[in-house]
């Protein structure tokens, strides 16, 4: 929209310049005694056409500017981005080097677990493979 408004203003300026040139040429023709009625009619028609172009260009500019979004009049100060960065850095350093609060240790009562004595299992004697069985001879 911004470029369209710029182009429309440029067209309006060129139409105004052409109108000024046409009016100057018409005044020059009126001052010249050699220019007859048909010559004056052509110059006045050129001026009328130029005036119509100027009025059309004005309407186009008004329409485009009505649709265009205007920029905010108040802008952020130049120092604001730097100050914001400094504030963030200060906050990060504060959090990095601030002492961490330690919660006091709460001593809970320790309850000894009572275990039931395990039943004694009969021990298996290891098999002695080195011993030969005795034979009783009768």
CA distances from 13 to 6, 32, 60, 66, 118 (A): 11, 29, 12, 19, 108
Inter-residue contact 49 to 95 (CB < 8 Å): no
State the first-to-last Cα distance of the chain, in angstroms, to the nearest integer: 128
**Other C-beta atoms within 10 Å of 47: how many?**
19
Considering the entire predicted model, what is its pTM? 0.47
Residue 31 banded pLDDT, cuts 50, 70, 90: confident
> In the prediction, which pLDDT does 49 show?
94
- Tens-digit pLDDT profile for residues 115-138: 777 777 776 766 666 666 666 666
CA distances from 80 to 4, 76, 77, 94 (A): 32, 7, 6, 21
- Tens-digit pLDDT profile for residues 41-57: 888 899 999 999 999 99
> In the prediction, which pLDDT does 88 show?
96
């Amino acid at each position: 929209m911004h470029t369209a408004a710029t182009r429309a203003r440029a067209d309006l300026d060129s139409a105004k310049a052409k109108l000024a040139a046409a009016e100057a040429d018409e005044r020059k023709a009126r001052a010249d005694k050699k220019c007859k009625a048909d010559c004056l009619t052509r110059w006045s028609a050129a001026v009328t056409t130029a005036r119509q172009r100027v009025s059309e260009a004005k309407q186009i500019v008004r329409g485009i500017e009505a649709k265009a979004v205007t920029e905010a009049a108040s802008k952020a100060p130049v120092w604001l981005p730097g100050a914001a960065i400094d504030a963030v850095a200060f906050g990060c350093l504060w959090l990095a080097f601030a002492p961490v609060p330690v919660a006091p240790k709460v001593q809970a009562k320790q309850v000894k677990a009572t275990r039931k004595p395990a039943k004694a299992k009969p021990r298996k004697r290891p098999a002695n493979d080195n011993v030969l069985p005795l034979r009783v001879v009768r």
